[in-house]
Structures are given as C-alpha cells and as structure tokens.
Amino acid sequence: MHLIGNGSTKSVIMVDGRSGSSIVVRGTKDVVIEGIGFSHAGDEALAAGNSTASVDGSGVSFQECAFTHAMLDGLTISGASTVKLNKCVFSENAEAGLKATGGAVVTAVECTFEKNNFGVISELSNTAVTVTGGSFSGHAASAIEASDHAQITVRGAKFVSNKENAVYAHDSGTSALLEDCDISKSENGIKAAKGAALTAIKCRVKENIIGMAFDSAGNIAVRESMIEGNAEDGIVLFAEAGAGTALINKNTIKGNRFGLNIHGPGMVPDVSGNDLGPNAFPDIYLHNKAAGSYSKNTLRSAERFVAEPAGPDDPGAGTYQWATDNIEAPANP
C-alpha cells in the first residue's frame, strides 16, 4: 500500500486528539506513506490522550510527513514494528515527537524535531532507534531519552537549545552511541546515569552548562571529541560506589570552567592522549577519593592537575596513577 499526499503542509489529516489518532497502522506490513501531515485539533494536552499517529506493524515507511500538535506523542511505534522515517518533521507535540517502545526498531534519516517536550523517547528491551542526520531544537526536556534496556544510535545530528539534555541514557541495560554530532546550549550536552552505557566519538559539545555528565553510569567511552566553552565542567564523572569503566581518549577539552572533574571512587577512568586547556580551573581535578590512570595528556591551564588533599569537607583524592609522559604545555596561541 502506498499513500501519497500533496505535501505535509497541504495534505493534512487532523482529528480531535481526545477521540483518537489521525492514522493507525496495525497488523499490516509494507506500507509507504508520503507527503501527508498528521495533527490534532485544539491545544489541550491530556496525560491519557492519543498520538497523532500510531504504528504496530512491519515494513512501514513515512517519507516527508509531519507529526504536529499531538495531545500526547507525535508518532508512537510499538511492538515488534520496523519503521523507516525519511525527512519527516515532528513539531510542537505535548510529549515526544517520536516514541519507540516494546521492541520497535526505527530508523530516522534527516528528520527535524523541534519544540516538543521530548524529541525522541526509546524505551524497553529490544527497542532500537537509529538517527542519521537531522536536527533537534527547542525541547523542554531532553532531545533524546533512552531507558529500560533500549538502544539509541545517533550519527551526524545537530542539537541546539534543548533545555535539560541533548541526549540522556538513564538506567542499567540502556545504551547510547553518538558519532559526529554537534551539541550545544543545553543544561547537559550528554548525560548517562544509573548504569547506562554511552559512547561518544568525534562529537562537538560546546556552550552547554555541563558538556558531558556521567552519574554512576555504566561503561563510558569519549573519544576524539571537542568539548569546549561549557559554563561548568567539560566532563564530570560522579560515582560514590562501583560503576562502569570510563575511557577518555584523544579529546580536546578547553574553555570550560573545569576540564575533567572526577568525583568519587566508583568510576575509575583511563584518561589518555587528551589535549586539555586552557580551562578556568584545573584541567583535571580529583576529589572525594577519585582515582584513575592518566597518561600522554597535554595540560595547558594555570592549574593543570589537582588531586585534592584530605580536609574537613573532602576526604581528598584516592590512589591514582600519573605517568611521566603527561606534558605540561603553554596555552595554544
């Protein structure tokens, strides 16, 4: 089945969101929907409302469609669905622009997410969302949020002015992979917590409050990324008890308040080959029993490496390994 409209702003299916969705695809496969907008009338957000579109089927494709003004989510994809989205717009929905749940597998290519509460929610085991290109802006919460053993993969996307987080993975069994993304102007550019795993490769994380925040996270890898101009920490690692491993490798971390802020003994990082500074405060700061190994880093700030001594307000740094091949260098001209 192939449904073709005359463009998502001209061919619009609009219903009262209290009564149902504009379109429901269920128990079918090999459906292509192109050039149609789906929307709700009215402006009343309902906790038990409906999405503008709902899919539970395989081989479903939306091309150049729009999902707007939903009383709940713009598009909900559930069950063992496989759905492809190409150049679609998700705008001004009361909850998520796109919600994938219950084992859905979704690919989104060059889609635009703007001014929803969340851009994308990926939740529950075997749910996997892959985003390639596209943009996320103006979300009240997170642009992308993954939880409950779901997966999210994002390549080449741009994130700007998403209030709480650009990307947030927030519990054990959940994983996120970010590659070649631009992330700016959020409270946290990237956040992982409570055992969630996250890898960021060749990303540019600039002008957030905190560039990357890892709070008792699972296994973390940050490689070949630029973390610059964040108001507080470039990267903060916080874990009081046992957490995952953290690899911080070959990044440029400069123009932040603190470069790398490590708090607590629970996450023992391997920090190597990074170019740090100038930052306003230490390039690397260890406190509250923080440890780790540090090698082949270049440090350029006035305060390059600080291992906090024990005092009344802080038990001080833990046992760490500082290699002789770390370099103290002047700031780049």
Q: What is the pLDDT of residues 84-139, one digit of tens each?
A: 999 999 999 999 999 999 999 999 999 999 999 999 999 999 999 999 999 999 99
Every domain of the chain and the residues it spans: 2-273
pLDDT per position as a tens digit, 270-292:
999 999 999 999 999 999 999 99
Structure tokens, 140: 């009240």
- With a CB cutoff of 8 Å and minimum separation 6, the contacts of 233 are 210, 211, 213, 256, 257, 258, 259, 260, 261
Task: Identify the CATH class of 2-273.
Answer: mainly beta
The pLDDT of 166-188, averaged and rounded, is 98
Question: Length of the chain, please?
Answer: 333
The answer to whether 182 touches 204, Cβ cutoff 8 Å, is yes
Cα atoms in the 13 Å half-sphere on the side-chain side of 246: 32
Nearest alpha-carbon partner for 17 in 80, 77, 89, 68: 68
Please tell me the predicted confidence (pLDDT) of residue 282. 97
